[in-house]
Structures are given as C-alpha cells and as structure tokens.
C-alpha cells in the first residue's frame, strides 16, 4: 500500500476577501499561515514523513508546502514546482468579489462558472494585465498553453500529464509524496483518482490547509481517503 498526501494551500488573502483568484499570485492570509503550520504539526504528530514534494508556481501553494515541511523538519527534501498544478484560470473573473459577481450575473450562472466542469468563465484578452504571457514564470509555455479562461475539464487536461509523468513516477519508486496545490487542480486530480462523474465533482469542496490522505493499492487505485484533523 502507498500513501499520498494532498493539501490545498492555506487560506489566501483573496479567499478571505471572497475573490476569484485563479493564477493571480496572492499571498496567504494570517489564518492561512496558521493552517499550514497546524497541518505540519499534525503530520509530525502522526509520524508522517516525505521523500519528495510537488507544488504549483504560485506563492500560496509554495509557502504552504514550505511551512508544512519546516514544521516536520523536512525542508531539505526535493520539491518540484509546476504551472500544471496551478489553480484553474478564472479569466475575467479573477480579482472580482464573488458576491458582487453573483449580484450581477445570478447565482445559477456563477455556480456553473465555479462548478460545472465544462462551463467557461468570461475570457480575458492578451492585452489584459492578467494575461499569463506577461509573467516571466510562464515564458517557456506555448501560446496554446497560456489560458485566456479555463474550465475544470481543461484544468484536468494539464494536471493529468504531470500526475502520470512526475507524481506517479515518484510513487512507483516507493517515495512518500506530498502535493500542495489548489482547490480546482486538486479537484481535477481527485476526480481522476476517485473516478467521479461530472455531477459528483460539482459537489466536491476542499477545505484550505487540511491534509487529505490517500491510501492506494499497488495499481494506485484508491483503497480509502480521509482528512487528518
């Protein structure tokens, strides 16, 4: 049996302000720092250890992983960062308050934008300051890989290659793996691991900063999963 640890980053400043975040590089809130620290303390208390870590290229994911590993005295393990683990790109919604967007477009439409795996939020244009092509961390991405908007299905399309090529490869080498990512990149991954339908994944909501343990068989099928609280 293999164990895999998934953790959604601690609460961010924009989570606190109820804003759509996406690829905007927002820091953790004070509560988010506390959540990450508590997660690390819990994992250490329950005698978990890790050989390698994975996270996105966004600071809320990076800092969460760093804080967890620091609490566990594991800052020395190798960590791989990838844009493929980034949050879903919310297009023109990024930075907007969710309540204000709901008042403008209606609860049903906003729920579709947030939860329907095939519903695309309004897109930005390439001259928008939020266009990731202007960010040096994405300079090696092709134009096709630089989103103007993104739904959950498209998020899964970029997460799964990284899962198979990097995370699964580490697990196959009997390494103990921790992944620090985002609400939607983890939802995409969980939909794949748990074989969830589109309808089932719309109901999936991940708390910030709480370790989610997966126990997997030798074929990496889920035996069970549970939160460590």
Q: CB under 8 Å to 56, separation ≥6 — which residues?
A: 62, 81, 82, 83, 84, 85, 86, 87, 180, 181, 182, 185
CA 33 to CA 172: how far, in whole Å?
32
| Cα gap 66→74, rounded to integer Å | 9
Out of 11, 87, 150, 182, pick the active-site residue.
87
CA dihedral 18, 79, 204, 90 (to 10 degrees): 50
Question: Among the options 9, 11, 71, 182, which is catalytic?
Answer: 9
Q: Is 111 considered catalytic here?
A: no
- Assess whether 9 carries a catalytic annotation: yes
Q: What are the Cα distances from residue 177, in Å, to 2, 125, 168?
A: 9, 37, 9
Which active-site residues does the annotation give?
Answer: 9, 87
């Amino acid at each position: 049996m293999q164990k895999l640890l998934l953790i959604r980053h601690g609460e961010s400043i924009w989570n606190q302000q109820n804003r759509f975040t996406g690829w905007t590089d927002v820091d953790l809130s004070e509560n988010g720092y506390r959540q990450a620290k508590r997660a690390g303390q819990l994992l250490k208390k329950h005698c978990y250890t890790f050989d390698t870590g994975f996270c996105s290229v966004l600071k809320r994911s990076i800092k969460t992983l760093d804080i967890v590993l620091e609490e566990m005295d594991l800052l020395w393990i190798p960590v791989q960062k990838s844009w493929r683990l980034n949050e879903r790109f919310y297009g023109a919604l990024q930075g907007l308050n969710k309540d204000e967007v709901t008042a403008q477009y209606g609860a049903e439409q906003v729920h579709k934008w947030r939860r329907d795996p095939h519903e695309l939020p309004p897109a930005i244009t390439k001259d928008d300051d939020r266009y990731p092509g202007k960010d040096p961390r994405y300079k090696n991405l092709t134009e096709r890989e630089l989103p103007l908007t993104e739904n959950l299905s498209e998020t899964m399309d970029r997460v799964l290659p990284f899962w198979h090529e990097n995370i699964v490869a580490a697990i196959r080498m009997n390494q103990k793996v921790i992944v620090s990512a985002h609400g939607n990149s983890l939802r995409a991954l969980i939909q794949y691991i748990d074989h969830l339908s589109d309808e089932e994944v719309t109901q999936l909501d991940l708390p910030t900063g709480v370790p989610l343990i997966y126990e997997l068989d030798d074929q990496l099928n889920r035996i069970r999963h549970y939160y460590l609280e």
